[in-house]
């Protein structure tokens, strides 16, 4: 959770400017958002909103692993 840290600062701190890959793993950055919506009896999971707009098959394999 990033809290009150601006998203640009948070993402810059964990990614490489040269490749766009995460510093710790060398794989594409991904995230999952969990939403609890009033009136819906289950959680809604959304992934990669504005992070991986056009992932390759290899990117998708890294994300799911």
Q: How many domains does the chain have?
A: 1
Per-residue model confidence as pLDDT tens digits over 4-57: 767 677 677 677 666 656 666 667 777 777 889 999 999 998 877 667 778 889
Residue 1, domain member (yes or no): no
Residue 11, domain member (yes or no): yes
pTM of the model as a whole: 0.47
Residue 48, domain member (yes or no): yes
**What domain range is 36 assigned to?**
7-64
Residue 2, domain member (yes or no): no
Q: What is the DSSP string of the chain?
A: --TTS-HHHHHHHHB-TTT--BTTTSS----EEEE--TT-SS-EEEE-TTT-SS--HHHHHHHH-
């Amino acid at each position: 959770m990033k809290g009150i840290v601006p998203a640009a600062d948070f993402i810059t701190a964990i990614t490489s400017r040269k490749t766009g890959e995460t510093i710790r793993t060398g794989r594409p950055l991904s995230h999952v958002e969990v939403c609890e919506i009033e009136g819906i009896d289950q959680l809604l999971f959304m992934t990669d909103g504005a992070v991986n707009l056009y992932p390759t098959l290899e990117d998708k394999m890294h994300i799911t692993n």
